[in-house]
Amino acid sequence: MRPARRRQSLVLVKSPFLNFDLIIFDCDGVLVDSEVISCRAHAETLTRHGYPITAEQVLERFLGRSMRQATNEVQAELGRSLPDDFASETYAEIFRMFADSLEATPHIGEALARIAQPVCVASSGPPEKISASLNRTGLYDRFAPHIFSAVQVRHGKPAPDLFLFAAERMQTAPENCLVIEDSVAGIAGAIAAGMPVLGYHGGSHCRKGYGEKLRDAGATATFDDMRQLPELIARLGREAG
C-alpha cells in the first residue's frame, strides 16, 4: 500500500518565456517510479563483484547517469574491469524486481492525457530497460516510436547529447523543447542543450529537500504531483504570450 501523499508542492523559480513545441520526458523517476528498485539492484550487483555500496549511495552518485558512465567510474576506482556481463547481470536483476513491484508514477496517465504537445522519452537507460518499464506500466504506446536512449549518443547526461538528439529526431528547435527531469544530471544536460527544464521531486526516491536541490541545479520550476504538470506547462505558455 502506498503511503498517503503529502501536500502538493509546486515552486516556480523563473519563466523561460517560451512556447513549447515538444515535451521531453525522462523515464526512470518521472514516468515510472523505478529509481529505488534500480538502485537496490545496482548496489547488490556491485557488492557481489567486490565493490561494497548501498542503494542510497548508488542513488546519490549515479542517479540520472548511464550504466556505462557508472561502470567506468567504478572500474577506475577498483583499478580493474568488472565482468563483461556485469551490465546484463544488473539489468536481469532490475527486470526481475520490476516484474514484482514496478508502478507508473502516480497520475502520470492523467497528466499525459491533458498535454497537447508532442511528447518523447530521453532516458539514460538502455532501450530494453525503457521498453520493459513503459510496457509494464502501460505507457509504451503513448510514446512509441519516439523513445530515445543514451546508448544512441556518445555522451550521456549530464552532457546535452541525448536531449539534442531527441530534439533533432523530433524536428524541433532545442529552445522550443521543455524537459521533465528528476535528477541533477538530467537538469544539467537539459540546460547544456539550451532547453528549459522542470524538476519533478515526487518519486519514492526523493527525500526532504530534494526539490530545493533540483532548483539549485537550475530547474525552471519544481513540482511533486503529476497533476500539476499540464497547468504548469500552460502557465509558462501564458507568460510567454
Give the integer Cα–Cα distance in Å for 107 and 90.
29
Measure the CA–CA gap between 148 and 135, rounded to whole angstroms: 15
Domain residue extents for the chain: 10-34+103-240, 35-101
Q: Which residues of the chain have pLDDT under 50?
A: 1-7, 12-18
Q: Do domains 10-34+103-240 and 35-101 have the same CATH topology?
A: no
- The whole-angstrom separation of Cα 26 and Cα 156 is 13
Q: Is 182 a catalytic residue?
A: no
Residue 161 and residue 158: Cα distance in Å, rounded? 9
Q: Give the pLDDT score at 2.
A: 42
pLDDT tens figures, 55-71: 999 988 998 888 999 99
- The class that CATH gives domain 10-34+103-240 is alpha beta
- The CATH topology of domain 35-101 is DNA polymerase; domain 1 (1.10.150)
Q: Which residues contact 132 (CB under 8 A, 6 or more apart)?
A: 95, 98
| pLDDT of the residue at 10 | 54
* Model pLDDT, residue 1: 41
Q: Kindly report the pTM of this predicted structure.
A: 0.82
pLDDT recorded at residue 9: 56
The catalytically annotated residue of 26, 33, 182, 225 is 26
